[in-house]
């Protein structure tokens, strides 16, 4: 019950509006005190007021109490500004009405206007006070003129009863005291709030200065980190450019170790690759002197967790020892005695780990998380470069093998083709074309073997090889009947172009003839199969087969067909 009454008397708090909360804190006690004081003083004022003045007094006081009560209720619901205006309007009506209906010499009515100005200054802004002062001057002037001309007759005359004047003045003094006390409280609160705000500002300034210093330190650290990261990324880009331009694995791996050591400042950089049996990690490249000694004796590590490199490859994840001295179970290499930090990163291609990148530093705790991230990216690039170099080597090997196979095929096909043609070449002597009875070995042998145009500075003959897909299939020879001469570049270009076109035309002719022979063979086989298929007894089949084969094979041939197992044929 007591808590409910206390909450009822406490001023409301307007969320998000500090000014309205301040006004509510002043208006709440003003309305409560004025309502209570008016009700308390009302019996005394009625008893001390003359009978003829009691009705006008009630006409002013009862609406005053009613409207103030309504203003209090409105204020409790959060509409503070509307409640303020209601209070000031009803107070103004009462005060200015009392002034207008009182005698000119009434001090109480004049003091009431002062109270009105004080309350307006408490509840509203300076503009409202100025407007009230202007209105007060105008209203008092009009009332004075109206009373002087007799247009307005005072209802409240000066009471000769001293006790009645005391009651009226006491009420006015009470309201004036309330206004002054609330003004003092408001000013004191404003002063305390100002001091508190000043202290808060000073604290905020100190915090801002501390924050500024902290931010400057962070910016400096971040700038240093960014510069360091930029240098690392530049190093990665440099290494990437190098590995992108090198396709030989034996050249690529040493270049990578040297570049990583140079740009990142590592004491030792080594690259391990997994052997074919997937049992050992073999050191394939290193930049340090100790690493060179290790490579000379074919250093390798078993793929288990007893070494940092083996751990990284078998687990497929980075393995870092920031203080090798306390992690000596993983590392104890006399070739690299100055190592204090070591990190091994797996070289991963898809889901397969092909090796590890091993970096070692002379500084304890040398690897930061940023270093690990950058070097991991670098390890991924190196793994891709190694795989690309390996694939390039395999493709080159396959290309050479396919080229050799193709060369053998072309050579075999043309050897067979040359044996089947009636004439292997022709000669034009300026008058007629005659077939060659045999190759001219004296001018043909060397160009066929070398595959290059053969001529001297001043020579009667020029030999141009006829080449087909890298294979020399013939020779185009030109001889000057009048002896030695200078062959021009245009003549040589013409001969080479003719040889090139002749090679393509000869290959097309060979392919056409080969296709025709194949088609003729298939057609003959089809005809023989068709004839044989018309018979169902063995004798007819054998006779037909012999007869058809004899007809299809050109020249004087004798065809024999015989059935029986191998033992019977051997006995026969």
What DSSP string describes 339-374? --EEEEEEEEETTEEEEEEEEEESSTT---HHHHHH
Domains of the chain with CATH codes: 2-200 (no CATH), 246-395 (3.30.450.40), 426-527 (3.30.450.40), 533-571 (no CATH)
pTM: 0.45
**Is the pLDDT score of 156 beyond 60?**
no
- Mapping DSSP to helix (H, G, I), strand (E, B) and coil, where does residue 267 land? coil
Tokens, residue 149: 């001309």
Q: What integer pLDDT is reported at residue 112 of this predicted model?
A: 73
Please check whether residue 133 is in contact with residue 194, taking contact to mean a CB–CB distance below 8 angstroms.
Answer: no
What DSSP string describes 466-496? EEETTEEEEEEEEE-TTS-BPPPHHHHHHHH
| pLDDT one-digit tens code per residue, 72-120 | 888 888 888 888 888 888 878 777 777 777 766 566 667 677 777 777 7
Give the range with max mean pLDDT: 3-7, 172-176, 197-201. 197-201
3-state secondary structure 117-157: HHHHHHHCCHHHHHHHHHHHHHHHHHHHHHHHHCCCCCCEC
| pLDDT one-digit tens code per residue, 496-515 | 888 888 888 877 877 787 78
pLDDT category of residue 445 using cuts at 50, 70 and 90: very low
pLDDT category of residue 270 using cuts at 50, 70 and 90: very high
Please check whether residue 172 is in contact with residue 112, taking contact to mean a CB–CB distance below 8 angstroms.
Answer: yes
Cα–Cα distance for residue pair 135/99, rounded to 1 Å: 14
Mean per-residue pLDDT, 246-262 = 83
What length does the chain have?
Answer: 572
Cα–Cα distance for residue pair 64/36, rounded to 1 Å: 12
| pLDDT one-digit tens code per residue, 273-318 | 998 888 899 999 998 888 888 888 888 888 887 888 888 888 888 8
pLDDT category of residue 272 using cuts at 50, 70 and 90: very high
Q: What integer pLDDT is reported at residue 14 of this predicted model?
A: 78
Please check whether residue 479 is in contact with residue 443, taking contact to mean a CB–CB distance below 8 angstroms.
Answer: yes
Q: What integer pLDDT is reported at residue 242 of this predicted model?
A: 72
Higher-pLDDT residue of 293, 177: 293
The chain-wide mean pLDDT, for the chain, equals 77
Give the range with max mean pLDDT: 174-188, 309-323, 464-478, 552-566. 309-323
**Is the pLDDT score of 199 beyond 80?**
yes
In degrees rounded to 5, what are phi and psi of residue 18?
Answer: -70, -35
| pLDDT one-digit tens code per residue, 327-365 | 544 556 788 888 888 888 899 888 888 899 998 888 887
**Is the pLDDT score of 556 beyond 80?**
no
> Hey, which residues does 102 pair with through a beta bridge?
156
Q: What integer pLDDT is reported at residue 286 of this predicted model?
A: 92
């Amino acid at each position: 019950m007591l808590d409910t009454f206390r909450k009822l008397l406490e001023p409301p708090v307007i969320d998000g509006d500090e000014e309205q909360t301040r006004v509510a804190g002043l208006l709440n006690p003003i309305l409560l005190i004025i309502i209570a004081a008016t009700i308390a003083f009302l019996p005394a004022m009625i008893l001390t007021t003359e009978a003829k003045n009691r009705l006008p007094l009630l006409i002013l006081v009862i609406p005053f109490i009613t409207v103030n009560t309504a203003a209090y209720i409105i204020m409790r619901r959060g509409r503070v500004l509307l409640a303020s205006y209601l209070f000031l309007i009803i107070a103004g009506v009462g005060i200015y009405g009392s002034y207008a209906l009182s005698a000119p010499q009434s001090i109480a009515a004049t003091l009431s206007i002062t109270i009105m100005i004080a309350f307006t200054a408490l509840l509203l802004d300076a503009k409202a006070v100025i407007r009230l002062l202007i209105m007060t001057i105008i209203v008092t002037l009009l009332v004075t003129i109206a009373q002087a001309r007799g247009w307005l007759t005072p209802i409240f005359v000066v009471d000769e009863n001293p006790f009645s004047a005391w009651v009226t003045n006491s009420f006015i003094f009470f309201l004036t005291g309330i206004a002054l006390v609330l003004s003092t409280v408001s000013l004191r609160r404003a002063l305390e709030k100002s001091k508190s705000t000043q202290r808060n500002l000073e604290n905020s300034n100190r915090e801002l200065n501390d924050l500024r210093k902290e931010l400057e330190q962070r910016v400096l650290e971040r700038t240093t980190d960014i510069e360091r990261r930029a240098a690392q990324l530049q190093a990665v880009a440099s290494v990437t450019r190098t590995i992108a331009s090198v396709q030989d694995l034996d050249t690529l791996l040493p270049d990578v170790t040297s570049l990583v050591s140079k740009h990142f400042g590592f004491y030792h950089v080594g690259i391990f690759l997994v052997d074919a049996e997937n049992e050992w990690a073999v050191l394939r490249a290193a930049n340090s002197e100790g690493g060179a000694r290790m490579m000379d004796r074919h250093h390798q590590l078993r793929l288990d967790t007893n070494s940092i490199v083996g751990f990284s490859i078998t687990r497929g994840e980075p393995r870092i020892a920031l203080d090798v001295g306390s992690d000596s179970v993983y590392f104890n290499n006399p070739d690299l005695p100055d190592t204090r930090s070591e990190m091994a990163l797996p070289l991963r291609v898809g889901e397969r780990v092909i090796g590890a990148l091993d970096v070692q530093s002379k500084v304890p705790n040398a690897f930061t998380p940023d270093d690990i991230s950058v070097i991991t990216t670098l390890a991924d690039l190196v793994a891709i470069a190694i795989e690309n170099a390996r694939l390039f080597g395999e493709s080159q090997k396959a290309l050479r093998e396919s080229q050799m196979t193709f060369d053998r095929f072309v050579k075999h096909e043309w050897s067979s083709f040359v044996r089947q043609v009636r004439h292997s070449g022709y000669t034009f002597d300026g008058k007629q074309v005659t077939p060659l009875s045999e190759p001219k070995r004296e001018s043909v042998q060397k160009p066929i073997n070398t595959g290059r145009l053969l001529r001297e500075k001043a020579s009667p003959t020029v030999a141009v090889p006829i080449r087909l897909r890298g294979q020399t299939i013939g020779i185009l020879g030109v001889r000057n009947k009048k002896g030695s001469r200078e062959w021009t570049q245009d003549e040589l270009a013409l001969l080479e172009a003719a040889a090139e076109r002749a090679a393509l035309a000869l290959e097309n002719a060979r392919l056409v003839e080969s296709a025709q022979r194949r088609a003729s063979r298939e057609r003959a086989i089809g005809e023989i199969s068709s004839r044989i298929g018309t018979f169902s007894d063995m004798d007819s089949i054998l006779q037909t087969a012999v007869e058809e084969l004899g007809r299809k094979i050109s020249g004087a041939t004798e065809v024999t067909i015989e059935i029986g197992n191998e033992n019977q044929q051997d006995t026969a």
